[in-house]
Amino acid sequence: TEYSLPTEYSAWKKLQSIYDSEHHDLFLKDLFAKDPQRFAKFSREYTSTEGPDVTLLLDYSKNLITQPILDALFSLVREADVEKVRDQMFSGAHINTSEDRAVLHVALRNFNDFSIQEKGVDEVAGVLAHIKEFSESVRSGSWKGYTGKAINTIVNIGIGGSDLGPVMVTEALKAYSKRDLTAYFVSNIDGTHIAETLRVCDPETTLFIIASKTFTTQETITNAESARDWFLGSAKDKAHVAKHFVALSTNTKAVTAFGIAESNMFQFWDWVGGRYSLWSAIGLSIALVIGYENFEQLLKGAHGMDKHFKETPLEKNLPVILAVLGIWYNDFYGSQTHALLPYDQYLHKFADYFQQGDMESNGKTVTKGGHRVNYQTGPIIWGAAGTNGQHSFYQLVHQGTKLIPADFIAPATTQNPIANSKHHRILLSNFFAQPEALAFGKTEEQVKKEVGSNASQALIKSKVFEGNKPSNSIIFPLLTPATLGALIALYEHKIFVQGVIWGINSFDQMGVELGKVLAKNILAQLDKPEDVVGHDSSVRFQVVLDSSFAYTRMATDYRINPLLPEAQEGVNTFSSVLRAACRIYCECTGNVTKYVYLYLKRIRQDATLCKIKYSSVTTSESTDAEASTRITCIVDPEPAPVAEICG
């Protein structure tokens, strides 16, 4: 297949020409003043054609665009063959070229509208039926733990897409949750995450969901093993694991070896990408929390947006519109970030979720054809729930030096109309006000009227808002499962369109691999500080001080805070590691004396506990004197010169 760089497209060149000649004269205040119909021209409403009722209004009138700019952007979509690649995705073609896989998250929510030919697609209905049966048995209380008690706590153990999607959705749809069923999500390999979660769990009433396609993901399996050890500390009999652990995986052998019954394994397929997997068995925790009926509504809402994306002309296609606006700012205005700003506390994890969805998909520097890109690809995605963000980072968005396009998202009505919806009215007033403030700002003349003509110029200038900051607004009647499904699918397809235009593979994630490989190599060296090899000087020294020695950790200004061993064995280890640290520090910096002096000064206070013999370290301005300083440390019967310690 021949792949072109988008910068070679005639539409791209036309857009560059328009930007070069016109962008200095594009002012939102003028654009609205010249065209009273601007909102009508630059807004679109999506209404589902079947299934649950979903309505979304996309207002993109507050963007730095004209109709000719938008026409050129749609021409770019056509020139990049987005429609062709879209249809290939829906048919099951292997558009994930680097891994030779289909990309079929749309098949997970396909209600017999699309003909998709790929192995495993015909098994989706069976997995959904399994999810329905199991979730209903747990929610009804008929599924019992090893002591005969019903389950009241769920712990989902996964990472990446096996965590972020379920976390976001269960938070977003908390209004639909079973309140006497508590869900926790453990992802981080940091033992604190699993430890703090287990502290509030009861082994008799807790169900663990282990979400790992291969059942070999290091973070997930390590946490799962710790959870199993904790559980068996009370349950004793390994046979009880089957009533308290289920797996979302394809590795039957590893799952059963762990102790999970094959009947409690929920399958998914290699054409399900992790960041697109909440629609699959990975969504089991969602079904448990909100009920299978609501989970199905989530799927149907997404399916409705799939149909819209596949069947609607580009000019009226919401995912396409969002995608080309992002291209306009990312590649022509040079904006590096995009903010997602939901004015709904239930959506407070939405930006976190699409950090992975967008940045892992389009954070690429090489095209499908193997060319190094000469243009910008995926933006940095970030954001927070309104109005919290207004009191933290909106200052920079309004008056900083960065151009930050933003999407404002809000429901017109609330699930919690307390105080006669007073809270929600205040929330919505801010939702409407912020895009207006960003677009139109405040002039110096307006400021002078506000503060008086006698105010200092510095004060006046500091209160000016330049405006002309672009944004989209997305509003819908109420955040329901179906609406959330449509909203997620909207952004999924936006990401897809941008990836096709940029000519990159949005469905692999090679960038996460290198760090894993290096970590695996370092892990094998952590207990052998003398064997720390194959790394730069910074890593070598950090490994010795921060990792390989469980009794010490590096603090600032070369000081060491020891976690002191009491046993002689610990003292011997302390001695060994101190020598290794001195040697490597000497090799890396050429100066060991300051390190050793501060080190011993710190541990001197605890010498009795440490059972360490030490002598004073003589300091001198002379490097020769420093180099010959003799240090007594740990259990050495005779002092050892620094040079000897350093090898």
Active site residues: 360, 391, 516
Q: From CA 447, how far away is CA 42, in angstroms rounded?
A: 31
Q: Which are the contacts of 312, defined by CB distance < 8 A and separation ≥ 6?
A: 318
DSSP string, 179-217: TTSEEEEE--SSHHHHHHHHTT--TTTEEEEEE-SSS--
Chain position carrying tokens 């894993």 = 516
Q: From CA 535, how far away is CA 427, in angstroms rounded?
A: 52
Q: From CA 240, how far away is CA 464, in angstroms rounded?
A: 67
Q: From CA 577, how far away is CA 564, in angstroms rounded?
A: 13
Cα 569–Cα 572–Cα 574 angle in degrees, nearest 5: 110
- Phi/psi of residue 624, nearest 5 degrees: -65, -45
Q: From CA 476, how far away is CA 457, in angstroms rounded?
A: 43
Q: From CA 344, how far away is CA 347, in angstroms rounded?
A: 5
Take residue 520 and report the two structure tokens written for it: 């695996």
- State the angle between helix axes of 568-589 and 593-604 in degrees (0 to 180), rounded to the nearest 10: 150
- Phi/psi of residue 228, nearest 5 degrees: -65, -40
Q: Which are the contacts of 299, defined by CB distance < 8 A and separation ≥ 6?
A: 108, 109, 111, 279, 485
Total H helices, total E strands in the chain: 27, 15
Tally of residues, the chain: 647
- With contact defined as beta carbons under 8 Å apart, do 15 and 328 qualify? yes
- With contact defined as beta carbons under 8 Å apart, do 131 and 283 qualify? yes
Q: What are the CA-CA distances from residue 379 to residues 348, 400, 498 (Å)?
A: 20, 18, 11
Exposed / middle / buried, residue 406 (Cβ in 10 Å: 0-12, 13-18, 19+): buried
Best CA proximity match to 217, nearest among 170, 183, 258, 184: 258
Tell me the three state secondary structure of residue 553. Answer: strand
Per DSSP bridges, beta strands 560-562 and 43-47 are unpaired
| 222 cis-preceded (ω within 30 degrees of 0) | no
Exposed / middle / buried, residue 433 (Cβ in 10 Å: 0-12, 13-18, 19+): exposed
Best CA proximity match to 531, nearest among 591, 576, 574: 576
Q: Which are the contacts of 534, defined by CB distance < 8 A and separation ≥ 6?
A: 521
Q: From CA 105, how far away is CA 299, in angstroms rounded?
A: 11
Q: From CA 537, how far away is CA 541, in angstroms rounded?
A: 6
Q: What are the CA-CA distances from residue 476 to residues 253, 344, 425 (Å)?
A: 46, 11, 15
